[in-house]
Amino acid sequence: MKVSATVESVLLADIPGTFVTRRVDRVHLDMAGIPGDCHYGLTRRAGGREPMYPRGTEIRNRRQISIVSVEECDQIAQLLGLDMLLPEWLGANLLVSGLPHLTQLPAGSRLLLPDGTGLVCEGENAPCRHPGDVIQTLYPDLPRLSQRFVSVAKKRRGIVCSVERPGPIMTGDDVRILAERLEWSVVAVGT
């Protein structure tokens, strides 16, 4: 099955000590991800997301690229009572539009870009408190945003990908998505 989306923003997490990203016009991926990005590498250390391995064990990096959608960011913002939710706060590398159920994209789906760059969806980017902490600092008058973010962002937080074919990605690129099956189950905004 084929679906498409548009790259609205390209982002890079290259500020030491934080996962927060900044907007750039384009990036050039190699097999380890985006050079200079905090998630760059063929391998990484296991953490809380991989309880089957002792913390710190070297594992394959399946989290090279993080992608969120405009539509899901808007849903999260609405549910948290925010006027906006920027992809930078989530540490996203790509913001796409036209894919309101991005997070439900099956693992193994391929995202293909115009110059031949290819990504493989590794699955949902499970929400954690770190983006919630960033959001809380920006909205100090709204209580418990760190905790609320985790529950509200489930099934809306976007996906993580690994690089299958290196190449450029730039703002405005069309993305073709190839998936074995797409069974969008609508996640209600009020849940």
Domain ranges of the chain: 2-178
pLDDT category of residue 49 using cuts at 50, 70 and 90: confident
Q: Kindly report, residue by residue over 65-109, the tens digit of the pLDDT.
A: 999 999 999 999 999 999 999 999 999 999 999 999 999 999 999
Letter for the amino acid at 160? V
29 CB-contact burial (10 Å; exposed 0-12 / middle 13-18 / buried 19+):
buried
Between CA 91 and CA 130 the distance in angstroms is: 10
Structure tokens at 8: 């609205």
pLDDT of residue 14: 97
pTM score above 0.85:
yes
Dihedral pair phi/psi, residue 149, rounded to 5°: -55, -45
pLDDT of residue 1: 64
CATH number of the structural domain 2-178:
2.40.33.20
| Sequence-ordered list of residues with C-beta below 8 angstroms from that of 142, at least 6 positions apart, any chain | 80, 81, 82, 136
Beta bridge partners of 119: 111, 163
Between CA 16 and CA 104 the distance in angstroms is: 31
